[in-house]
Amino acid sequence: MPGVLKAPLVVEFPFTRSLGPVQGAFLTGLRERVVLGVRTRDGRTLVPPVEYDPVTAEEIRDLVEVAPTGTVTTWAWNHEPRRGQPLSSPFAWVLVKLDGADTALLHALDVPGPEAVRTGLRVRIRWAEERSGAITDLACFEPYDGEPARPAGHDGEFEDAITGIVAPARLDYTYSPGRAQSAYIGALAGQRTVGERCPKCRKVYVPPRGACPTCGAATHEQVEVGPRGTVTTFCIVNIKAKNLDIEVPYVYAHIALDGADLALHGRIGGIPYDQVRMGLRVEPVWTRGARHPDHYRPTGEPDAHYDSYKELL
Amino acid sequence: MTREIAVVAFAQTAHRRTSDELSEVEMLMPVLHEVLERTGLKTADIGFTCSGSSDYLAGRAFSFTLALDGVGAWPPISESHVEMDGAWALYEAWTKLLTGDADTALVYSYGKSSPGPVRDVLTRQLDPYYVAPLWPDPVALAALQAQALIDAGETDEPALAAVAARNRAAASSNSHAQLRGSIPQGDYLVRPLRTGDCPPIGDGAAAVILATGERARELCARPAWIRGIDHRIEAHGLGVRDLTDSPSTRLAAEKAGAFERPVDTAELHAPFTSQEVILRKALRLDDSVTVNPSGGALAAHPIMAAGLIRVGEAAARIHRGESDRALAHATSGPCLQQNLVAVLEGDPR
Ligand SMILES: [Zn+2]
């Protein structure tokens, strides 16, 4: 049996998020080197600020400036920073209670080694040189042995407050389609289409996924299907897809390959789009070096009778 | 009248570092077949099916719909899914059975962590405004919690190493576990946590069947009756919480009736050694209680299934007559963010 396939798979997404009045003020403040907290009705100051009291769920809006200096409440030494983390050289993760705050903020502390960190260490903010209104405007913390800094009493009102952030993310995977689909893709390399037969209902599934979706049984018996097949249903595509070099309109169809009990998808070519019909007999057209048929074209045979494919619609 | 609901069957995979020769459904299917065979039920006999998983682990969208191929959804089934650990799928199934809409339920969950860098993947579940842009991984966050616990004088590194050793020694008799027996504590991953304080990264799946009243007695010689189950969550801001405690676990346990009478067994979902210290305190477990006879999450940690496995392991001990009253705990999110507690009992002997 040929080996199981693997390929790199990158998932990248920029989440655009809107900010409410509290988070917007906090992140705008970071851009202006001002740290804002929010005061609860019982007089606690939460930094970073939230819109609802975590204890009472009451809406809170009372912004108050706190100091850029504070105290480490707990820490962890990160000797091998990972991609995206605040510092590329070894650093300490810290929770810091800023002077004037009652809760702690998570960030990085830049010190040479774990012996330079302890709970209770006094620290201050090191601002990023370029700031855009994000938690990363706070580059990191650094040790500080001076007096607590005095906040200027900012009220949280800004000229051009930011209302949203873009949070990019990227994750790298090594994707493997598993045993059944690897075998399917492997057969395609030899221009053969291979499905798997369910041991219970005897249906042949293509592409196979290793299980019969009707019976829930594992499938193993490989069955070569096609190459010819029957169009069971189709649609006419009139919108040009990005990065796709196909003239519109074109026909996208479900094709039941001979011997298969499940229709697969494919494009129909070699015939005007408005002459494609249910029951049309087709065969795959391969282009050199391709990993799957480029499209299917009419074989010239008479159309299949409806009864022969109605179960596959 | 409240219906009696029991766990009547449990199955799990042999959890492994990687299973890349198998698709998710190929990994899951033997486990589904095993629980059905144990009870003699067929898919068509099951009243409700609920699953737990996360697309982020394998990096593919709607993966749970493909996993359904392994269930066999014809004739049409009643089905639901949670993007969480299967323990929460079990909670949904339990409420479904309580309503009287079904007498049996199939609950399964699975996680393939091997395709992606799971420490990075799990950062995407964090607060996207203040925390996720810093990419703090779950080991880093657990390490902050461990240091807070050490500073509070509630544990130290040798005590944490003893937790790791005890769990993995217990796993010696668990053929499904990924890490078994004597494992070196290793180097720091994020200080104060060493490799040995952290769960293995691995792939796996689990399934249980629930049944009500007399149906449960027909399907299982000694059903594990769910006497209570509850789940609670804490403020999402890590700096708002006292990381050395787990009030949500305590409250869930109280609501589940865990404190009404002592339990003899506890299966705790504590992926990090320091979290077992916190959970033991929150759940008031003393040395008379057998904690994690399976080896717990330190021996096998298929994400999204590890919590359901705790319920399954606790139930299986009752099935085998090794326990009369057991507690099962599941957690989700960073630093014991969300916690579920179930109390299971066997009929008196
Ligand atoms: Zn079948």
Contact indicator for B179, B298 with CB cutoff of 8 Å = yes
Instruction: Answer positive or negative: Cα dihedral of B137, B138, B139, B145.
Output: positive
Each as own residue / partner, the long-range contacts of residues A289-293 (CB below 8 Å, 24 or more positions apart, any chain) are A291/A185, A291/A188, A291/A189, A292/A188, A293/A266
Q: How confident is the model at residue B1 (pLDDT cuts 50, 70, 90)?
A: low
pLDDT given for residue A244 in this prediction: 78
The environment of the single-atom ion ligand 1, i.e. residues with CB closer than 5 A, is A 198, 200-201, 212, 214-215
Do B144 and A93 make contact, defined as CB atoms within 8 angstroms? yes
Cβ(B203)–Cβ(B300) under 8 Å?
A: no
Percent of chain B with pLDDT over 90: 93
Looking at residue B99, its pLDDT comes to: 95
- pLDDT tens digits along B197-245: 999 999 999 999 999 999 999 999 999 999 999 999 999 899 999 999 9
| Cα A281 to Cα A191, A194, A300, B179, distances in angstroms | 19, 19, 7, 56
Distance A307 CA to ligand 1 centre (A): 21
Express as a percent the part of chain A with pLDDT over 70: 99
Q: Does B70 touch chain A (CB under 8 A)?
A: yes
How many angstroms is it from A217 CA to the middle of ligand 1?
Answer: 6
Alpha carbon distance B203, B178 (integer Å): 9
Q: Are the Cβ atoms of A82 and B43 closer than 8 angstroms?
A: no
pLDDT, tens digit, 9 for 90 and up, residues A24-44: 999 999 999 999 999 999 999
Q: What angle do CA A218, A220, A225 make, to 5 degrees?
A: 120
Whether A38 contacts chain B with CB within 8 A: no
- Residue A243's pLDDT is 78
B182-217 b/e with 16+ CB inside 10 Å = b? Answer: ebebeebbbbbbbebbbbbbbbbbbbbbbbbeebbe
The tokens describing A43, both together, are 């007089």
**Residue numbers in A near B237 (CB within 8 A):** 46, 48, 50, 54, 103
* Cβ within 8 Å of B, A 50-79: 50, 54-55, 73-79
CA pair distance B78, A288, nearest whole angstrom: 46
Judged by average pLDDT, the poorest of A99-108, A117-126, A284-293, B274-283 is A284-293
Residues A80-103 have a mean pLDDT of 98
Cβ contact A169–B124 (<8 Å): yes
B130 to chain A, any CB pair closer than 8 A? The answer is yes
Domains of chain A (ranges; CATH) run 15-170 (no CATH), 226-313 (2.40.50)
Q: How far is B293 from chain A (nearest CA, A)?
A: 30
* CA dihedral over B28, B33, B39, B44, signed as positive or negative: positive
Question: Angle of helix B24-39 relative to helix A178-189, nearest 10 degrees?
Answer: 140
Task: State pTM to two decimals.
Answer: 0.95
CA-nearest of B341, B304, B257 to B107 is: B304
Which residues of chain A neighbour B147 with C-beta distances below 8 Å?
74-76, 119
B135/A83 Cβ within 8 A: yes
Q: Which is it for the CA torsion A260, A261, A266, A270, positive or negative? A: positive
Across the interface, which of B60, B137, B240 has its CB nearest the CB of A103?
B240
Confidence of residue A247 (pLDDT cuts 50, 70, 90): confident
- Inter-residue long-range contacts of A238-241, CB under 8 Å, 24+ positions, other chains counted: none
Alpha carbon distance B134, B297 (integer Å) = 27
**Phi, psi at residue A108, to the nearest 5°?**
-105, 150
Which chain A residue's Cα is nearest to B24? A178
For A144-179, write each residue's pLDDT tens digit. Answer: 999 999 999 999 999 999 999 998 899 999 999 999
Whole-number pLDDT of residue A240:
87
Average pLDDT score over residue span B180-185: 94
Contact B269, B331 (CB under 8 A): yes
- Please give the mean pLDDT across all residues of chain B: 96
What phi, psi does B79 have (nearest 5°)? -140, 150
Nearest residue on chain B to A96, alpha-carbon basis = B239
Whether residue A101 has pLDDT greater than 50: yes
> What is the band of A2 on the pLDDT scale with cuts at 50, 70, 90?
low
The nearest alpha carbon in chain A to B130 belongs to A135
DSSP 8-state symbol, A50? -
pLDDT of residue B94 exceeding 60, the answer is: yes
B203–A contact, CB cutoff 8 A: no
d(CA B71, CA A248): 40
Please give the pLDDT value at position A216: 92
Check if the interface score ipTM surpasses 0.90.
Answer: yes
Residue A173 pairs with which residues in a beta bridge? A9
**In the predicted structure, residue A293 carries a pLDDT above the cut 60:** yes
Predicted confidence (pLDDT) at residue A1 exceeds the cutoff of 50: no
Q: What is the CA radius of gyration of chain B?
A: 19
In whole angstroms, what is the distance from residue A159 CA to residue A174 CA? 47
B201 part of contact set with chain A, CB < 8 Å: no
A211 in contact with B, Cβ within 8 Å: yes
Q: Distance (Å, rounded) from C-alpha A202 to C-alpha A308? A: 17
Closest-CA distance of chain A to residue B15, Å: 17
What average pLDDT score do residues A255-283 get?
96
Cβ–Cβ gap B25/A210 under 8 Å: yes
Q: Find, in chain A, the residue whose alpha carbon is nearest to that of B29.
A: A218
pLDDT tens per residue, range B41-92: 999 999 999 999 999 998 988 888 889 989 988 889 999 999 999 999 999 9
Angle between helices B157-170 and B273-282 (to 10 degrees): 90
CB contact under 8 Å between B72 and A213, yes or no, is yes
| Gap from A235 CA to chain B (nearest CA, Å) | 24
Q: What is the mean pLDDT of chain A?
A: 95
